[in-house]
Structure 1
Amino acid sequence: MPLKVIAQDNWKILAGLTLFYLMVSLVCGAFFTQYRYSQFVNQDLMSARSHIWLDGAEMGERPETQRIFKLKSQLLLDQVSWYNPIQIFSQCHTAAPSLSPEDNSSLRLPLTFSLDLSADQTGDLIDINCQLQGENWLFTSILCAALSVLFISFQPRPLNTDDLKLLKRLLQIGGSSVDQKRWKQAIEKFRATNPDRGINEDYLRRVLETEAEKFQSVEERFTLLEQASKPLTLSFLLNSGNVEVRVNDVIIPMSTTPAIYWLWYAKKRMTHSNDGWVLNPPSNRPSQSLAAELITLMENYGGHGRAISELKQNGLKAKTLDQNRNKIKDALVNSLGESFIEQFGFESDKQEDNTQSIYRLKISPNDISINES
């Protein structure tokens, strides 16, 4: 995924993470610096106070001792080094609260201590002030945010609720722990390029029930998910005097005669003649014109001689149409299941001036293709 695309898609996350890292780095920097000074006050400064107190007690010069302690403490404080992993502070210094700077680039840490020689007195209070390195602070935060966004962008998306349910149903069809891992990887790969596309689970389940051995690797399962996500189409491949019928990539096994009748109905649907409706001939008057259309198709695409002879001698009967529609339905159900009848089956109606029923394929003509090779 190009970095420009990542930035465009995740700029809000980038801004939010930048603010987050600004706050985290500031808090962490202040904490480590304050912790270092606290250690110094509680250890080095207390040790110096003890030694100077003992020396002063021997001399009996309390005021001078206090000044010595203050001067030595300031000298020691100026030598304090602090640990700041990201170095957002350029320098830190101690000063009396009244002398602390109030500029915007200075941060006063929440640590105040006394330079009085006696711990019971609170004179000579000292604050710690640190100068922020604004440019370094901002650059470090933006860099951390950008690296985080980059890392997140290249991670596989976690499966959403629908995909988790899909994974569970796929494993119910038959699957081991290896299958679970492969299906999960296939779904993740599919979602990487098709984040919002739906999957026809009826199609997917039916294919796996009949041809599971063809889909073992992650890549093969990814291909199957892509097939199941495409709009369902009805296609006819005409070659070498043969008719092959497919729903997407699934071949519908059936004999030649009903396949040719299905092709004939599809041609009617695609030409928009009467919106694809075909009138069943009266039971006592077979249709010669419709029979001629079917005879042409059968002669071109390997129709049975007996079926051709029947049409030539007797014309097209309503009973023959009914029988072949039922054979088409049975082949569809056997291959894909009952749920596909709603889209690929037939619908019927009756005209006001005719007692005979009319039939056509339910599928839209835009979803039908006929290819000849």
Structure 2
Amino acid sequence: MIRHFTLFVALWAVSCFLTVAWSKWGILSSIDQQYQQAYTSVTPSKIYSGGVNNDAVSFMLNKIRLELDTLQIDSLVPVLRECRITNISVEPEVTFYSRLFRRLQWELVLNDPHHHLSYAGAAECQINWLNLLGSQFVLCLLIAVTLYYLPHPLTRQETALIAQYQALNWSRADIDALQQLQPDQQQWVQAIANHPKLSAMPLKAIISNIAGHNPCPVSIQKLKWLALAYKCTENPQQSFAVAFDHYATLAFDIPRRVVVIHGITIKLTPTPYFYYLWYALKRQNTETGWVLNPLTTKADHLLAEQLIALMEQHGGHAKAINDLRRNGLMAKKLDQNRNKIKEEITAVLGEDLASAFLFESRRDGASLRYDYRIALSSKKIETL
């Protein structure tokens, strides 16, 4: 922002300088042109003798001084209030290039070819600062706005990308739409279009959905979630919402008996669902969330009562409830349900994406049995 402001001020200053310079140059050029046109009428024809006539030269000098003592500026927005040519004197005839050089120094040189002399003086002008600063500010502002909205020139990388997109038979309209995106967004379009599981997604849908999300570097993990969501829904908008708007959360929608993982809804079989919910509540409501597996030779009736209460509260399967009440919670039963949970979630998410939402284990040093808990942080687990 500071850099842009500095550039604007510099442009404003340069514009003011050039405007004043151009105005002075225009005045001197106009005087010179009018002098050339009116030369024959400035002095009586009788003095054009071809030699130096002091009376004629004096007449010319006084005439020029009188005419150029005060110059009126006619302009819609005059940046010079008034000008005058001062210190007008007679010099030997000045060559064209010398006249041009001296004009760059804001000196007026008028040649008198009949007497082989030149009349020279310096231009003095008063600047109308209000008009100058105001007009150039508006001009610079218009230039800045125009430059802002002009398409930026293509970089080598962008040129290479366009060539690649044309090789994919993308239309000119699609490429133009692509050029409106930020560089990170363009990288996303390329990554999605080249992804084997996303190649069927319409290009227009890719561009429009990417344009609706803040630019961010291409993420392999987000690509995986996008591919998974598109496989499940075949809806580009919903797929982008899963990949970009949802986070690594595990939500239990108890009334519908489903889990929502990173925006993906998964329907589990009833009994594994309640075991998964039970582990999630342990993760939320205890300090560490670890659950020690029962002995292989002895059922745990305390844990069984917890599961029974949860199933009865939310309409669990009667057969599973009766089995727990009669036999207690066996290690084998817990292992079977954890494996079933892993199997059903992995079937939807794939092993790589599912791992963060499944179980981690550790061996208890005292009992040599294993503790299990959901690997995800308790802050990312919700119950609805």
Question: Whole-Å Cα distance in 2 between the matches of residues 111 and 285 of structure 1?
Answer: 108
SS at match of 2:234: helix
Tell me what 1:117 maps to: 112
Within a 5 Å distance, the mapping from 1:4-23 to structure 2 comes to 13-14=4-5, 16-23=7-14
Stretch moving more, 355-364 or 146-155: 146-155
- Select which of 250, 255, 271 maps to 1:257: 271
- Select which of 204, 207, 211 maps to 2:229: 207
SS at match of 1:283: coil
Tell me what 2:204 maps to: 178
SS at match of 1:252: strand
Distance 1:130 1:322, change over 3 A: farther
Question: Whole-Å Cα distance in 1 between the matches of residues 188 and 289 of structure 2?
Answer: 37
Tell me what 1:101 maps to: none
Question: Whole-Å Cα distance in 2 between the matches of residues 20 and 77 of structure 1?
Answer: 34
CA positional deviation for 1:277: 0.3
Question: Whole-Å Cα distance in 2 between the matches of residues 158 and 272 of structure 1?
Answer: 51
Question: Whole-Å Cα distance in 2 between the matches of residues 253 and 86 of structure 1?
Answer: 75
Question: Whole-Å Cα distance in 1 between the matches of residues 115 and 338 of structure 2?
Answer: 104
Question: Whole-Å Cα distance in 1 between the matches of residues 286 and 208 of structure 2?
Answer: 45
CA positional deviation for 1:331: 3.5
Question: Whole-Å Cα distance in 1 between the matches of residues 135 and 247 of structure 2?
Answer: 48
The one-letter code sitting in structure 1 at the alignment partner of 2:336 is Q
Question: Whole-Å Cα distance in 2 between the matches of residues 331 and 366 of structure 1?
Answer: 24
Question: Whole-Å Cα distance in 1 between the matches of residues 362 and 136 of structure 2?
Answer: 70
CA positional deviation for 1:255: 1.8
SS at match of 2:124: strand
SS at match of 2:254: strand
Distance 1:66 1:334, change over 3 A: farther
CA positional deviation for 1:211: 1.9
SS at match of 2:366: coil
CA contact (8 A) 2:361 2:372 kept: yes
The one-letter code sitting in structure 1 at the alignment partner of 2:34 is D
The one-letter code sitting in structure 1 at the alignment partner of 2:277 is L
- Select which of 254, 275, 278 maps to 1:238: 254
Question: Whole-Å Cα distance in 1 between the matches of residues 293 and 235 of structure 2?
Answer: 43
Question: Whole-Å Cα distance in 2 between the matches of residues 151 and 315 of structure 1?
Answer: 77
Is 1:270 aligned to 2:265, yes or no? no
CA contact (8 A) 1:258 1:328 kept: yes
CA contact (8 A) 1:18 1:144 kept: no
- TM-superposition CA deviations, 1:284-321 (whole Å, max 9, x none): 22322222211222222232233223323332232332
- Select which of 116, 121, 126 maps to 1:126: 121
- Select which of 338, 348, 356 maps to 2:369: 356
**Seq. identity, %:** 24
CA positional deviation for 1:15: 5.5
CA positional deviation for 1:263: 0.9
Distance 1:118 1:147, change over 3 A: closer
Is 1:163 aligned to 2:185, yes or no? yes
Gaps of 5+ in 2: 90-102, 152-178
SS at match of 1:270: helix
TM-score w.r.t. the length of structure 2 is: 0.70
Distance 1:354 1:44, change over 3 A: same
Aligned residues: 336
Question: Whole-Å Cα distance in 2 between the matches of residues 203 and 120 of structure 1?
Answer: 92
Stretch moving more, 18-27 or 290-299: 18-27
Distance 1:186 1:349, change over 3 A: same
CA positional deviation for 1:369: 1.6
CA contact (8 A) 2:257 2:268 kept: no
SS at match of 2:371: strand
The one-letter code sitting in structure 1 at the alignment partner of 2:304 is A
The one-letter code sitting in structure 2 at the alignment partner of 1:44 is Q
The one-letter code sitting in structure 2 at the alignment partner of 1:47 is Q
CA positional deviation for 1:276: 0.2
CA contact (8 A) 1:116 1:123 kept: yes
Distance 1:58 1:155, change over 3 A: closer
Question: Whole-Å Cα distance in 2 between the matches of residues 148 and 333 of structure 1?
Answer: 58
Question: Whole-Å Cα distance in 2 between the matches of residues 320 and 361 of structure 1?
Answer: 17
Question: Whole-Å Cα distance in 2 between the matches of residues 97 and 203 of structure 1?
Answer: 84
CA positional deviation for 1:112: 2.3
Within a 5 Å distance, the mapping from 1:66-215 to structure 2 comes to 66-74=57-65, 75=67, 78=70, 81=73, 87-96=78-87, 110-118=105-113, 124-140=119-135, 159-172=181-194, 173=198, 174-187=200-213, 190=214, 200-213=222-235, 215=237
CA contact (8 A) 2:43 2:59 kept: no
CA contact (8 A) 1:237 1:243 kept: yes
- TM-superposition CA deviations, 1:260-300 (whole Å, max 9, x none): 11111110011124x10011222222322222211222222
Tell me what 2:55 maps to: 64
Tell me what 1:319 maps to: 332
Question: Whole-Å Cα distance in 1 between the matches of residues 17 and 265 of structure 2?
Answer: 65
CA positional deviation for 1:350: 0.9
